[in-house]
A = this chain, B = another copy of it.
Amino acid sequence: MSSEAVETRIRILNAAWTLLEASHGSGVKMSDIARAAGISRQAVYLHFPNRAELLIAATRHIDEVKKVGARLAASREASTGIERLEAFIEAWGNYIPEVYGVVRALLAMRDSDAAARAALDDRMRGLREGFEAAVKALARDGVLSPALSVPEAVDILWSLLSVETWEKFTRDCGWPQARYVALMQELASKMLLAGPASQ
């Protein structure tokens, strides 16, 4: 009964994921997704109320398949604040390319679609919390720059480690993924840590 319904749902999500990844998040229509999933366009609406909800479900599906939870959990186990920050940047930075297509599509529709905007805000709030935990660990260790409050440091990480910035470095400037991650770690260290440029 419902096992086949779930199958179709997953097929739709995978179709959306694949198409959006290939097109870098633009130009993918509901009819394209339906065709790729092997069903009619209208049938997609039997599983998702609209495009925004489909894309939101796709991000959650990717999170599940790619095990974000486990990846981010690793950063929580670091003993020092500095290690924790580096691990978190590495985990998040390497996760961006996995969700890029779908997030880009959500980003493109956020102006016209309240649900897309809300979903992105929610995701970004989750990211902020991750950065906040790392910054608090730095503060606890006494290595956070005295010129910065915790919220300010979080703002800096959150603003600079955006999907848009990743896009500029890796897609527009052609930087390899590993180089991007290394630069972001260096950036975080230079901007957030106290004293004579540690790391």
Contacts and interface: CB of A to CB of B under 8 A. Distances in A.
A174 B175 CA distance: 30
Number of copies: 2
Contact of A155 (B108, B164, B169): B169
Contact of A108 (B108, B190, B191, B197): B108
Interface in A95-126: 108, 111-112
Interface in A149-199: 155-156, 158-160, 162, 164-165, 168-169, 172-173, 175, 183, 186-187, 190-191, 196-197
Interface of A: 25-27, 108, 111-112, 155-156, 158-160, 162, 164-165, 168-169, 172-173, 175, 183, 186-187, 190-191, 196-197
8 contacts: A27-B112, A156-B183, A158-B173, A160-B160, A160-B165, A164-B165, A190-B191, A196-B197
